[in-house]
Structure 1
Amino acid sequence: MARTWERSKLSIWVWCVLAGSCLGRFVVEKNSLKVSTPASLKGSYESAIGNFGVPQYGGSMPGTVFYPKDNRDACESFENFNASFKSATRQLPIVLLADRGVCYFTLKAWNAQNGGAAAILVADDRDGDLITMDTPGEDHGDSGYLQNITIPAALIKKSLGDDIKKALSDGDMVTMHLDWTEALPHPDERVEYEFWTNSNDECGPKCDTQIEFVKNFKGAAQILERKGYAQFTPHYITWFCPPEFLSSDQCRSQCINNGRYCAPDPEQDFGKGYNGRDVVLQNLRQICLFKVANVSSKPWLWWDFVTDFAIRCPMKEEKFTKECAEKVIQSLGVDLEKINECIGDTDTDVDNPVLKAEQDAQIGEGSRGDVSILPTLIINNRQYRGKLDGGAVLKALCAGFQETTEPAICLSSDIETNECLENNGGCWQDKVAKITACRDTFRGRVCECPLVQGVKFVGDGYTHCEASGTLHCETNNGGCWNDTRGGRTFSACVDDSSTGCKCPPGFTGDGVNSCEDVDECKEKKVCQCPECKCKDTWGGFECTCSSGLLYMREYDTCISTHSAKKSNFGGFFWIVIFGLAAAGVGAYVVYKYRIRSYMDTEIRSIMAQYMPLDGHVEVPSHGSHTDI
């Protein structure tokens, strides 16, 4: 009896630690509920997101509230009451309002979903702060439906529930929006998230769900991490044994490092199968694998290891061992020696730096509460609520990106609706050039003037956008008028740093829709000389002269073609004469200089044979000679 009491006492203490400690701080994650009608209820209210179902992170849901006459706590199937509240075509979805009490929150949501509701609101039955509706404990046998709940669920305060019930009883229609757009922070282009998990695979439905989630989400997680869109960190919850129980069989079988780091027995039977100590050691091994892989810039290998370990080393087949884990590690090419170095000595009475850091990280800081639900995720320092499903978690991660920075995986048709496909999202567009200011984002759409082939468009994005900067005329002619006639093209766009459109010379108009030809002849701004005759052309004019005169456009005058030819011939004649004279003088000078120089050289050479000359060196004879 004493042993049973001791075990119960220890189990209660363990529950306090795993629930974030009895003195820990639990944060209720909330979404906004906006009532549109009736006018007496119009406004925004808080609702607590349930820890099951699929909250629409990053989105919203309109709906009409329905409060049934029977089965108001939604603890029975609505088929028993011949009730169905599936919305008709083009009618707002139905949000079921149910009373708190009698049965599990999850059962209420399951019955509401089967009845055709798109969401469920549970009205609290007591005044006070909102709580988080959680799933039943692991000992709840009839929980096969938990993973099939796909509608969002939220708890509202008693006062709001009473007001909605009264409005409905008065014959008013209550319409609202459930809004999750700000349920998660979205400050920048990268999402940081943590997955709080456990290597134990024998804890019932939650462990099965956790393993399935890792398998299904691995591909998306690795895409986000490989390309730097997300920064992921796995964490593991451990507890420590109270000093008065250090010598007990429970602590020795569930803890390492003299009771500092413990995990519950997988089967809740200390004499059967694996124990908590085995779980803690495997947790530590998985953390160290992540750290070693992260140093080598391959943090995504953690997903491969956890998936492969669950398949190759399950507890049910008695393969949950160090040897099996090391084979998986080696198959992934991770340095096993560095992992074992990270694990350290688990039998000594000292702190393990890795596990101590994990316990410290479990404590909440700032807006984040203590980690108390396992398994769970923390996205941008905010705790995820809802079903641990690959698609639902991906939506939540996508809601953590700043608008227009989401990766392509967040904009697929399976994840979100592209609002730009309908009426261009109400944004500006140029149908001819197929340019639009509508940009699809995970939360909706933004109207933002685009950047096209290096050309930035500027404007409000709703009513107008126009190209700016250099080269902007190459894109749809800068949005300006242009036309081609008779092989000549005119444009109202100037390819420089200016903006706007201006009709070219010879045209008048707004430069955008049209430019009309100016009749320069009619306005008498050209061809004003007496002999001039003006003819208007498209984009210009032609001016001719009478009596064979030649028109000079720069002077707007006519001159005689004969005088021009004579003048030109005379100038050319004198240029030729002066050229020939200069060539003759040059030839004479060259000739005289070269002849004189040659004669001087020959005369000096002849005279040197008869008499020595000043500066002349006598050349010795080249005959035979005798050595003395």
Structure 2
Amino acid sequence: MGRGFQMLLALVIVMVGLFVEGVNGRFVVEDNTIKITSPQDLKGSYKGALANFGVPQYGGSMSGQVVYPASNQEACNEFTAGQFKVTPGEMPNVVLVDRGSCYFTTKAYHLQLGGASAVLVMDNKEEELITMDAPDATITDENRTISEEDITIPTVLIRMQDGNKIKEALRQKQLVSVVLDWTESITNPDQRVEYELWTNSNDKCGDKCNMIKNFVTEFRGIAQNLEKGKYTQFTPHFITWYCPLTYVDTHQCQSQCINHGRYCAPDPEQDFTTGYDGKDVVMENLRRLCIFKQLNDSGKPWKWWDYVYDFSVRCPMDGPNGQQLYNQACSEEVMKSLDVDVANVAACVGDKDADKDNDILKREQEAQVGNDERGDVTILPTLIINNAQYRGKLEKNAVLKGICAGFKEETEPSVCLGGDIETNECQANNGGCWEGYNVTACRDTFRGRICECPTTPEVTYVGDGFKDCKPSGPGRCRVDNGGCWQEERDGRRFTACDDSLGGTGCKCPIGFDGDGKQCEDIDECKTMCRCSGCKCKNTYGSFECTCASDQLYMQEHDTCIRKVGSSATRTLWITITILLSVFAFVGMAAYAVYKYRLRSYMDSEIRAIMAQYMPLDQGEPGHSNRMDSEL
């Protein structure tokens, strides 16, 4: 058994180093730009290498100030909790640490616990930038298990000469301001993002396999919607190695490879005597490639995600009651349930024992080799977006952010602007933005968090979004009284906020003096109620002025007037009233006599005139004189 494992180790080393005969492997470091904006003598753009862990802010940028800890400068020990955490309005802390003595992931995790917003690791030797990777196995730090999945802040490696310049500026007490820029980390060639995922169908490789399985489960719906909307073009890939001719006839190669050692995968249990063999993994990888080809040709490539998910549920390596379900028969059951042509897939897979190339797997091995734009695929899983290798967690929101960064501005699908893209940027210290009145100015987008004063159904807030946001416009007085002064006293409410003022202004009400943020009662007795005989009493927001008992105070003229006149005046008014009454009575009597005499005169004149035409003593017998009776 020991010799078998030695052979396995030698074989794996050979296969990792040789993808295609005659071609040297090459790894391209994915970088981002670090812009130093101050001090003046350091101002400029520098290169940094993205780590294979943490969450780069693809498509966005982060501004911050560089901090170099006074102790624990390699970050191999824990920092005080919240040591680098900032308060709202402060610039995020980008912590610079030295390379060496412990894993990169350990450094990043310790700084994350300390509240750092991002990590700069300074190389400890003069060399080209390298990609910081997590160790294959999780590490234990003070009884805590740390894995790359636990790290959520961006981590970047910088050159030693650049780090020393920053340190010197910090020693001179200069503020070193930087902008970490990821806007060009994913290129934007067109309105469609092309991405590929290099993975493996093996589900017994520990944390890596669990991470891939969880990602497929969570990302499946998003990937299918992007594909259906023709926003993306996805291609699955699988890594295989070939067995050198010297070892083709060994048991190790025969159990791990198909097509006479041309296409191999490691034994899932790393044991050549029990369980599944590496060739079982190669065959399932090949079936998945053929299924994707068939679905893509039929115009429904998104159904591939359903197959992978259903297979992981229905055909796991560790089946219930020890069942071995990871096989061709279970795969074909899944295919049938998804209306995949089983015969077509079988023809694509071909004969695994044939001593010739398989066209599908041969193209996969050729695709593993990098080109001028990207390096070789050597790590599982590997995600490539628009031909740039993605750096970060294989997690739904992180990957979606990377894909969304591949779209040009204003061409992103709605999923890039909705809730599915939410990250933790606003949860940690509120993103360094303003918050108050149960609302926040921090808004998370896939290009990075934005500090922007919010608008609610009740009120709009205005300000810089970092240090201050004030209620504005109609309804602002309902929110903390519009930020203005207010006070209640003696059952009355006094306020300096008035919606009719508009904007964010505050004005002290009548009876008070101040800037509206603070108002003080005015003592009106110093300027009002100063007349002779006046007595003044100052009240909160007003005053009371009194005069003698028979006088009233007139505020407009600041004087007192009598409530009633003197006795002589009263007698005069009584006399005048009596005389006026007498004159009125005499006038009315004279008018009545005049009317009576005029009526009598008129009656006599009318009688005289009528008598001339109708004598009063003539009339027919038996009839009364109608004129006389009517008159």
Query: Fold match, TM over 0.5?
Result: yes
1:19 and 1:172 mapped to 2: Cα distance? 52
In 2, the alpha carbon distance for the partners of 1:257 and 1:40 equals 62
Q: Report which of the two structures shows the higher radius of gyration computed on alpha carbons.
A: 2
Q: Which residue matches 1:357?
A: 363
- The equivalent of 1:173 in structure 2 is 175
Given that residues 194 and 377 in structure 1 are in contact (C-alpha distance below 8 angstroms), is that contact kept between their aligned partners in structure 2? yes
Pick from 241, 255, 258: which aligns with 2:257? 255
CA distance in 1, matches of 2:53, 2:270: 25
Matched, 1:308 2:310: yes
The residue that corresponds to 1:366 in the other structure is 372
For residue 279 of structure 2, what is the aligned residue in structure 1?
A: 277
For residue 105 of structure 1, what is the amino acid of its counterpart?
F
Pairwise CA distance, 1:323: 1.1
Distance 1:115-1:379 versus aligned 2 partners, 3 A rule:
same
3-state SS of 1:216 partner: helix
**Unpaired stretches in structure 2, ≥5 consecutive residues:** 424-443, 450-631
| 1:236 is the counterpart of 2:248 | no
TM-score with structure 1 setting the length: 0.64
AA paired with 1:259? G
Which SS does the other structure have where 1:155 is aligned? strand
The alpha-carbon deviation at position 170 of structure 1 amounts to 1.1
Measure how far apart 1:146 and its partner are: 2.2
Q: What is the 5 A alignment of 1:45-444? A: 45-79=46-80, 84-138=83-137, 144-317=146-319, 318-412=324-418, 415=421, 443=447
Distance 1:11 1:359 in 2: 16
Shift of 1:205: 0.9
Compute the displacement of 1:386 (Å). 1.0
Q: How many residues align?
A: 421
Report the AA paired with residue 97 of structure 1: L
2:508 equivalent in structure 1:
none
Within 1, Cα distance between the matches of 2:446 and 2:173?
Answer: 37
> Are the equivalent residues in 2 in contact too, given 1:403–1:443 (CA < 8 A)?
no
SS in 1 for 2:119: strand
Q: Can you list the C-alpha shifts for 1:399-430, whole angstroms capped at 9, x where unaligned? A: 1112221111112255379xxxxxxxxxxxxx
The one-letter code matched in structure 2 to 1:165 is K
State how far apart, in whole Å, the 2-side matches of 1:140 and 1:416 are: 29
Encode CA deviations 1:69-123: one digit per residue, 9 max, x unaligned.
11111111113xx771101111011111111011111111111111000111100
Aligned Cα RMSD in Å? 2.3
1:13 corresponds in structure 2 to 14
Spell out, residue by residue over 1:424-444, the C-alpha distance to the aligned partner (whole angstroms, 9 max, x if none). Answer: xxxxxxxxxxxxxxxx99659
Cα 1:194–1:263 shift into 2, 3 Å: same
DSSP-derived class of the 1:316 partner: coil
Alignment-mate amino acid for residue 90 of structure 1: G
Identity across the alignment (%): 54
Residues 16 and 241 of structure 2 are in contact (CA less than 8 Å); yes or no, is this contact kept in structure 1? no
The residue type equivalent to 1:134 in the other structure is D
Q: Decide which moves more: 310-319 or 194-203.
A: 310-319
Offset, 1:15:
3.3
Contact 2:82 2:115 in 1 (8 A): no
- Contact 2:20-2:366 within 8 A present in 1 as well: no
Q: Are the equivalent residues in 2 in contact too, given 1:191–1:230 (CA < 8 A)?
A: yes
| 1:441-468 CA distance string (max 9 Å, x none) | 96599xxxxxxxxxxxxxxxxxxxxxxx
- For residues 379 and 395 of structure 2, what CA distance do their matches in structure 1 show? 15
Matches of 2:265 and 2:334 in 1, distance apart? 23
Cα shift at 1:366: 2.4
| Residue type of the alignment partner of 2:52 | N
Q: Contact 2:20 / 2:365 at 8 angstroms: preserved in 1? A: no
Deviates more, 1:310-319 or 1:152-161: 310-319
Contact 1:309–1:325 (CA under 8 A) maintained in structure 2:
yes
Q: 1:89/1:19 Cα in 2 relative to 1: closer, same or farther (>3 Å)?
A: farther
* TM-superposed deviation, 1:23: 2.8
3-state SS of paired residue (2:374)? coil
Which sections of structure 1, spanning at least 5 residues, go unmatched?
418-439, 446-628
Asked if structure 2 preserves the Cα contact closer than 8 Å seen for 1:284 and 1:343, the reply is yes
Superposed displacement of residue 231, structure 1: 0.5
Q: Which amino acid is 2:399 matched to?
A: V
Give the SS at the match of 2:318: helix
The answer to which of 379-388 and 22-31 deviates more is: 22-31
Contact 1:20 1:370 in 2 (8 A): no
- Structure 2 CA distance for aligned equivalents of residues 20 and 351 of structure 1: 14
> In the TM superposition, what is the alpha-carbon distance from 1:4 to its structure 2 partner?
5.2
Instruction: Give the superposition deviation at 1:52.
Output: 0.5
C-alpha spacing 1:202/1:5, structure 2 compared with 1 (3 Å): closer
Deviation at 1:6, TM superposition (A): 3.1
